[in-house]
Each structure stands twice: as structure tokens, then as C-alpha cells.
């Protein structure tokens, strides 16, 4: 276990060194986050109405509601996309095969390569919320940070399974997984990213309640905006836990099988 942790940190260090060789984008991201937060603030001011306030959880502004939804989807996107992207980069730069003849297994390579994108997303989201708090009154003080971290870890673990499925798809078929975009697209509508699920038609609400994103986002908003305790968000956490237990082991199995197949068909480094 310590060895895996050490290997994972090696990949994080590698990505940190590579990222630090590009200085400009970090500054630009900070500025972009400022404009992103400003955009949500002014959209919220523009659409504010008694009807909207009634549809949102009590005491929540639309600005805070939409900013949390946007930040959460940034994480979701990272979880679903980073494994496939790191595999694609390794293949395209020719580092995949040199990595595969080291002592480290490909699943560890993938997990290690996912740490930096998660850290980067955390930083970006932090900057978004920071700008939102300093300039536009985002209510950071009411958050239950322990619950926020627990929801975040549960979300990343559960949706990483989908990301690993996507990486397996890339290994096998040499192209991005279209189901990933379908899932993200559907979830952005029925998951409640920018508006409450309650305003959807009833049949879409059924779809929303079958989608774990809805539960994860509800839990995140409750922890961040209302300071909900872990006990208060136990139900969505259980849903995410079940989702993790189902998806993570099955995705690892499928990925191992896909890796074996590519070693049989000789297409490991094919594009």
C-alpha cells in the first residue's frame, strides 16, 4: 500500500514539474476564474425573481447555487475524463511503452496520473469560490468543510469508475468514449447543475433520481451552502458508496481485460 502511494506521488511530482514549466496558463486560469465567478454573479442578478427564490433551497441565492453546480461539474468532468486523457497523452508522447516496462502497473500509472488533474481542479474551484466570496458575497462561512471533503472524495471515487471505463474504451477502440459525453450531457441537464430538478417535467425527474450525480450535487450544496452534517447527508453518501462499490471494481476488471486484449492484438500503442 505504501509502495502504491509512493508510485502515485511520483506521477503527481512528474505532472507538477511539467505544469511548472508552463507559467503563463496558471496566471491566465486565475484571471479566467475571476471572470467565470463574475459571469455567474451577473447572470444570477439578471434572472433573480421571487419564483426562482421559491424553487431554490431556503436561504440560497441563485449565484451560490449555480457556482456550486458549476464547480461540482468541473470535478465530475475531471473524474470522468482524466484517466482517458492521461492514457492518450502517454500513447501520443510515446511514454506508454517505457512506462509499461517499469515495475509499476498500468492501473497505478492511471491513478497516479489522475492526481494532478484532481489537484488542479481543486485549485481552480478554490479560486472560483474565493473570488465569489471576496467579490460577490458567496457564503463560504456557513460550510461544513468536513462534509464537503467527504462528499468530494465519495464523488471522485464513484465517478472515477466511469473514467476508467472510458480509458478501457480508448485502449480497445483507439477513440474517446462517446458514452462519457452522453453521461456528462445528460447529467448537466438532469443532475441539477444550474437549476433545481423540481422544475423538470416529471418523467425527467424520474431520470434525475436514477442518476447519482443528482444525489452527489444535493449533498455538496447541503454541505457547502447550508453547513449540513454528515448525518444529514447520509442518504446521498450511501448512494455514492453503492455506486463506487459497483463501478470501481468492475471498471478495473474491464480495464485489465482491455489491456490484455491490446497485448494480444498488438495494438497497445496504436492510435
Partner 1 sequence: MPGLCTFQRSHSLFSNEIHAINSGVSDSAITVDSLEKSFPRAYSGWRALLQPFAAPSSTALRGVSLQVSPGEAVALLGTNGAGKTTLLRILATLLIPTRGTAIVAGFDCARDPKAVRRNLGYHAGSDLGFYARLTGAENLRFFGRLNYLSDSFLRTRIPSLAERFELGGALDRQVRTLSSGTIQRLSLVRALLHQPKVLLLDEPTRSLDALAAADFRRFLKAEVLQRQGTSLLFASHTLPEIETLADRVAILKEGNLITVDTPAALKSKAGTDSLEEAFSRLTGHSARSLEEFAC
List of residues contacting partner 1 (CB under 8 A): 7, 10, 13-14, 17-18, 21-22, 93-95, 97-105, 172-174, 258, 260-268
Shortest Cβ 23–partner 1 spacing (Å) = 12
**Which among 179, 188, 247 has a CA at the least distance from the CA of 217?**
188
How far apart are the C-alpha atoms of 86 and 110, rounded to whole Å? 7
Shortest Cβ 13–partner 1 spacing (Å) = 8
Shortest Cβ 193–partner 1 spacing (Å) = 31
Q: Which is nearer to partner 1, 8 or 44 (CB)?
A: 8
Q: Which is nearer to partner 1, 189 or 261 (CB)?
A: 261
Shortest Cβ 19–partner 1 spacing (Å) = 9
The upper half-sphere exposure of residue 117, i.e. CA atoms within 13 Å in the direction of its Cβ, equals: 21
Q: Which is nearer to partner 1, 4 or 43 (CB)?
A: 4
Shortest Cβ 262–partner 1 spacing (Å) = 7
Residues 77, 82, 84, 90, CA torsion sign = positive
Q: Which is nearer to partner 1, 48 or 97 (CB)?
A: 97
CA 33 to chain CA mean position, Å: 17
How far apart are the C-alpha atoms of 151 and 145, rounded to whole Å? 10
How far apart are the C-alpha atoms of 101 and 119, rounded to whole Å? 27
Q: Which is nearer to partner 1, 18 or 149 (CB)?
A: 18
The upper half-sphere exposure of residue 8, i.e. CA atoms within 13 Å in the direction of its Cβ, equals: 16
Q: Which is nearer to partner 1, 15 or 218 (CB)?
A: 15
Q: Which is nearer to partner 1, 22 or 46 (CB)?
A: 22
How far apart are the C-alpha atoms of 4 and 105, rounded to whole Å? 10
- DSSP assignment letter at 198: G
Shortest Cβ 11–partner 1 spacing (Å) = 9
Shortest Cβ 188–partner 1 spacing (Å) = 27
Burial per residue of 2-12, b for 16 or more beta-carbon CB atoms within 10 angstroms, e otherwise: eeeeebbeebb
- DSSP assignment letter at 140: G
Which three three-digit cell numbers place residue 141? 462561512
Amino acid at each position: 500500500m505504501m509502495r502504491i502511494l509512493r508510485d502515485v506521488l511520483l506521477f503527481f511530482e512528474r505532472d507538477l514539474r511539467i505544469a511548472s514549466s508552463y507559467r503563463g496558463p496558471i496566471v491566465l486560469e486565475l484571471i479566467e476564474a475571476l471572470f467565470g465567478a463574475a459571469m455567474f454573479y451577473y447572470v444570477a442578478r439578471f434572472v433573480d425573481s421571487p419564483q426562482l427564490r421559491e424553487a431554490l433551497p431556503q436561504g440560497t441565492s441563485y449565484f451560490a447555487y449555480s457556482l456550486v453546480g458549476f464547480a461540482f461539474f468541473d470535478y465530475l468532468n475531471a473524474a470522468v475524463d482524466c484517466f482517458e486523457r492521461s492514457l492518450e497523452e502517454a500513447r501520443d508522447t510515446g511514454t506508454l511503452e517505457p512506462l509499461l516496462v517499469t515495475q509499476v502497473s498500468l492501473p497505478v500509472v492511471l491513478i497516479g496520473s489522475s492526481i494532478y488533474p484532481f489537484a488542479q481542479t481543486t485549485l481552480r474551484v478554490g479560486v472560483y469560490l474565493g473570488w465569489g466570496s471576496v467579490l460577490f458575497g458567496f457564503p463560504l462561512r456557513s460550510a461544513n468543510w468536513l462534509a464537503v471533503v467527504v462528499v468530494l472524495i465519495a464523488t471522485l471515487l464513484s465517478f472515477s469508475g466511469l473514467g476508467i471505463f472510458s480509458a478501457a474504451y480508448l485502449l480497445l477502440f483507439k477513440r474517446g468514449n462517446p458514452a462519457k459525453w452522453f453521461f456528462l450531457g445528460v447529467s448537466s441537464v438532469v443532475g441539477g447543475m444550474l437549476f433545481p430538478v423540481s422544475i423538470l417535467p416529471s418523467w425527467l425527474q424520474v431520470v434525475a433520481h436514477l442518476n447519482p450525480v443528482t444525489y452527489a450535487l444535493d449533498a455538496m450544496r447541503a454541505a457547502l451552502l447550508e453547513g449540513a452534517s454528515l448525518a444529514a447527508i447520509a442518504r446521498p453518501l450511501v448512494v455514492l458508496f453503492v455506486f463506487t462499490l459497483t463501478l470501481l471494481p468492475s471498471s478495473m476488471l474491464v480495464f485489465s481485460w482491455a489491456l490484455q486484449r491490446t497485448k494480444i492484438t498488438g495494438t497497445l500503442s496504436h492510435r
